Amino acid sequence: MRMYDLIEKKKRGGELNHDELHYMVDGYVKGEIPDYQMSAMLMAIYFNGMSDDETTFLTLEMARSGDMVDLSPIEGFKVDKHSTGGVGDKTTLIIGPVVAALGVRVAKMSGRGLGHTGGTIDKLEAIPGFRTSIPREEFFDIVGRVGIAVAGQSGNLVPADKKLYALRDVTATVDSIPLIASSIMSKKLAAGSDGIVLDVKTGSGAFMKTLEDSVTLARKMVAIGTGAGRACTALITDMDVPLGFAIGNALEVIESVEVLKGKGPEDLREVSLRLAAEMLHTAGRGSAGECYHMAEKTLRDGSAFETLKKMTEAQGGDVRCLENPELFPQAAFTSEVKAQQSGYIVHMDTEACGIASVLLRAGRSRKEDEIDPAAGIVLCKKYGDRVEEGQTLAVLYASDRDLFEAAGKKLLDAYRISDSRPEAKKLIYARISGSGEVRYEA
Ligand code: URA
């Protein structure tokens, strides 16, 4: 077999078979296929797409390129959740403890922020002392004792994705549905859970900007998951507006704790409860409606918050911070972004809100950048709100005053204000499962 012939076949719109995809992934990971040939293949896939079979075979080959985690030493049904990435998306910090408090195990491997989107590992590391790098045996032990552990990807998990993602990043081939689906699902399959709930974001702050693209991506990922023998469903949720008010690592942990205490922003609480209900339903705990009420109860009775505290303690984090937010790292400076006109907020460029937080150093511009756990934004006004000229739209937090000018301008430009009140937005657009698709009206 020759890589040249596979590129030629894909260029002409042909379908690669399992053997060919095995040859390609294996050869690339071993360094036998050079970056220039793989770049040409990625661009051919970008333009010609991949069938469901091709995407599934590519995903399986990527998943098997390194270690496959065996979670069988942990008793019971293990369920995972993955978000395609968003701004202010801190749902894992809420959902994980909710589900674990109800006895469903969560052995979660999470990532760091990517581009304008945040990552759970960066958020957890804002809790002083919290260890996200833990040996496999200890990770299993914490899941067994507490019901949940969240760690960064360790060992040799999906090396094919590490190499391919880095190449996609510099060859303008990230935004390809089969490549995103195989990248995400290879990591989920290798992580070993029995059930996988996908939170596919849609809107201006998501990788997929349109509902139709998000549905196509969700269908592909669900097909891969169920084809690989996992219980897999997806919810399409809104990312046209940041989720909650806080963007930035310590600020987001503080906001998540508010929700776990039965308070917090309504949109964040609702999306978290719907995803938690989906995970519980996947684990066979009842109908989606019953599971929603069970999840809600863990916020009311404090059991989900207790579970977050136990996980934090087990992973070395300072639990006192969760009760006393002033113990989190604090930004030295704040700055207010003021509205330049009166009216209703009719649009928020959510990707730009994420970039503004990166400019404050809440995220990374380059892979090797250090992030500032205290930095970020607290929005005071969001989509649909009425605002008067001179009123505060958001408060910025940073450790260096010089960062405010560029970040403030970016954030101000992200808001569009107009005279007429916009229509309310849905939070959940659709549910995709192996047996079909439901679109929600409101
Ligand atoms: N997240 C991933 O893990 N992979 C992609 O390709 C895009 C988002």
Question: What per-residue confidence (pLDDT) applies to 202?
Answer: 97
DSSP of 347-385, one letter per residue?
EE-HHHHHHHHHHTTSS-SSTT----TT-EEEES--TT-
Q: Ligand 1 pocket, 3 CB below 6 A?
A: no
Question: Which residue do the tokens 């019901």 mark?
Answer: 147
Does the pTM of the predicted model rise above 0.85?
Answer: yes
Q: Ligand 1 pocket, 275 CB below 6 A?
A: no
The preferred substitution site among 42, 158, 170, 174 for testing ligand 1, maximizing ligand atoms within 8 Å of CB, is 174
Residue 11 among the catalytic residues: no
- CA pseudo-torsion sign 383, 386, 390, 391: negative
What's the residue count for the chain? Answer: 442
- Domains in the chain, CATH or no CATH each: 3-49 (1.20.970.10), 79-323+427-439 (3.40.1030.10), 332-418 (3.90.1170.30)
pLDDT tens digits, the chain, 442 residues: what are they? 999 999 999 999 999 999 999 999 999 999 999 999 999 999 999 999 999 999 999 999 999 999 999 999 998 899 999 999 899 999 999 999 999 999 999 999 888 887 788 889 999 999 999 999 999 999 999 999 999 999 998 778 999 999 998 899 889 898 899 999 999 999 999 999 999 999 999 999 998 999 999 999 999 999 999 999 999 999 999 999 999 999 999 999 999 999 999 999 999 999 999 999 999 999 999 999 999 999 999 999 999 999 999 999 999 999 999 999 999 999 999 999 999 999 999 999 999 999 999 999 999 887 778 899 999 999 999 999 999 999 999 999 999 999 999 999 999 999 999 999 999 999 999 999 999 999 997 6
Question: What per-residue confidence (pLDDT) applies to 442?
Answer: 61
Question: What per-residue confidence (pLDDT) applies to 311?
Answer: 98
The closest residue, in CA terms, to atom 3 on ligand 1 is: 184
The preferred substitution site among 83, 84, 173 for testing ligand 1, maximizing ligand atoms within 8 Å of CB, is 84
Fill in the DSSP letter of residue 167. Answer: H
Question: What per-residue confidence (pLDDT) applies to 283?
Answer: 96
